[in-house]
Amino acid sequence: MIRFNNEDIKYLAVELPYAVRYCKSVGDFQGEIHAIDKLLACDIPYALRMRLTIEREVAKGLKKDYKTDFDRLLAKIREKYPACSAQDLCEIVRRGHTDYILKGDLFRIYFQNSAAANILRCHEKDLRQLSDPYAEPPVSNDRAENYRIMKEKGYRAFRFEVRMSLSPTEAAERVGEKIRVHLPYPAACESQPAGDIRLLSSPHPVFISDAAQRTAYIENIHQKGEVYSVSFSYTNSTRYVEPDPAAVSRQQPDFYTGEFYPHIRFTPLVTELAREIAGEEKNPLLLARRVYDWVTKNVKYSYMREYLLIENIPEFAILEGRGDCGVMALTFITLCRYLGIPTRWESGCSLRPGSIGSHDWARFYVAPYGWLSCDPSFGSSELCCGNKELWDFYFCNIDPMRLVTCTDFQQPFDPPKFFMRADPFDSQVGEAEYEDRGLGFGETIKKREVINAKEME
């Protein structure tokens, strides 16, 4: 990882020179790196220098993350669903929810390393029916139960105890050298009162920041096999709302309505789509609902490549019709901002007793109601299952089974990292660096555990 100021990630929006762009388009990533190095040796503007410096990391990531050819992908799918034929897999790929690139002299298709897991999640019903046409999909009632309780009580709250840990892999260990570790930590926000957040334990001294992407920071001389961890508790309390469009104020604020490069950009595609979605509507609550409806109907859930490898996330979603929770949230945010609706990022984890996973969603502001929540990813999944009530619920509401660690997108840590983060945009699993380089995703072992979960009255 390169030495890097996180604010410079905005230069990902700068256009690439032709030679670099050509090599990238034909999958010649080694040639792309060579072209970048030649340009970096010249006297070029700072913005272009930073763009090329970032792109060098992107090219390395594309070389590393796309190593699965068709035969290997089919073999992985057949481990669970032996009845899947090459023709069946071709049909799944044709639907457009499988990430791949062209690479090498013969322009062969190579799939993202997690493509099999993505297909097994997004096309589970189709694959199951190849083996058993009468099989019924598993049903989870957690969200429906939460909706019922929140609507009856007007709120719901949980007290959680969570442990986050990180350690270098054996290959990345440097015994006797200083290591700097940032672990996600509960943000003080509307749903997580500051007074209810407690640091329970850590084997090392910890600095807790108040940054928008909040972390527990540990600095230590690393010893063999050492693990860096924090245990904490917090309360997440979420209210149930049913805002009335007729009660929306005529005057609305204009904060959180601007662009934020490289991803929140009012490009011609974004602006024309936003206008098409809006039509003649002027009410901000109804405009936000129109955006939510478009995203949940037109962007299908799919695992994604690392966000650093995408030049413009909302445009990717609009053009490809797929994306994960963060892609859906950022598309909602960008379209709403262009329409003058204050909108921002929120992220962390979705969790249950014994289960925790990364998750992203959005918040938008409509006076007099204030900040409202929106989860396009959960809403999209409920729409696909025909659960209209829950689809409606995840516009303006979310469940309290969450850990909020980030209250904004693409924000620096406190203290800041010296080198480029493995994820410069979000913070959900932790980051680490030595004094001369950062550690990538594959060089650390991360673990998240829900120690205790208790519903509060």
Domain membership of residue 213 as a residue range: 144-238+406-455
- Who's near 136: CB < 8 A, 6+ residues apart? none
The count of structural domains within the chain is 4
Q: Are residues 304 and 353 in the same domain?
A: yes
Look at strands 343-352 and 322-323 and give their pairing. Answer: unpaired
Angle at 299 between CA 295 and CA 301, to 5 degrees: 120
Q: What is the DSSP letter of 123?
A: T
Distances (CA, A) of 285 to 249, 362, 375, 389: 10, 14, 15, 18
On the 0-12 / 13-18 / 19+ scale of CB atoms within 10 A, 386 is exposed
CATH code for the domain of 351: 3.10.620.30
Helical H segments across 347-432, by residue range: 376-384, 388-393
The answer to whether residues 389 and 375 belong to one domain is: yes
Q: In this predicted structure, what is the pLDDT of residue 104?
A: 67
Q: Give residue-wise pLDDT tens across range 354-381.
A: 899 999 999 999 999 999 999 999 999 9
Residue 1: inside a domain: no
Whether the Cβ atoms of residue 406 and residue 348 lie closer than 8 Å to each other: yes
Task: State whether 275 and 349 are in the same domain.
Answer: yes
| Type and span of the H or E element at 294 | helix 284-298
Q: Are residues 379 and 294 in the same domain?
A: yes
pLDDT at residue number 103:
78
Exposure string (b/e) for 110-125, b if CB count within 10 Å is 16 or more? bbbeebbebbeebbee
Do both 203 and 274 map to the same domain? no
272 plus 387 within the same structural domain: yes
Residues 82 and 11 occupy one common structural domain: no
Supply the pLDDT for residue 63: 86
Contact (CB, 8 A) for 156 and 238: yes
CA-to-CA dists, residue 14 to 26, 51, 262, 399, 456, angstroms:
20, 6, 8, 38, 49
Residues of the chain where predicted confidence (pLDDT) is lower than 50? 132-139
- DSSP label of 179: E
| Dist CA 23 CA 27 (whole Å) | 6
pLDDT score at 378: 96
Looking at residue 239, what is its pLDDT?
A: 97
CA nearest to 394, candidates 381, 403, 407: 381
Which are the contacts of 301, defined by CB distance < 8 A and separation ≥ 6? 122, 322, 323, 324, 325, 328, 377, 380, 381
Phi, psi of 110 (to 5 degrees): -125, 130
Task: Kindly state whether residue 138 falls inside one of the protein's structural domains.
Answer: no
**CA distances (Å), origin 101, targets 119, 179, 188, 259, 319:** 16, 35, 41, 29, 16
Question: Rounded CA gap, 395 and 373, in Å?
Answer: 7
Q: Do residues 46 and 121 share a domain?
A: no
In a domain, 348, yes or no: yes
Render pLDDT for 203-229 as a digit per residue (tens, 0 to 9): 999 999 999 999 999 999 999 999 999
345 and 386 belong to one structural domain:
yes
Residues 381 and 254 in one domain: yes
Distance CA 315, CA 346 (A): 20
Residue 319: how many other CB atoms lie within 10 Å: 10
Give a yes or no: residue 354 inside a domain.
yes
Paired with 435 in beta bridges are none
Per the CB < 8 A criterion, the answer to whether 452 and 160 are in contact is yes
- Burial (CB < 10 A; 0-12, 13-18, 19+), residue 176, is exposed
Strand order of the β-sheet with 155-168 is 198-201, 228-239, 155-168, 444-456
Same-domain status, 252 and 345: yes
Domain check: are 264 and 365 in the same one? Answer: yes
- Please report whether residue 249 resides in a domain: yes
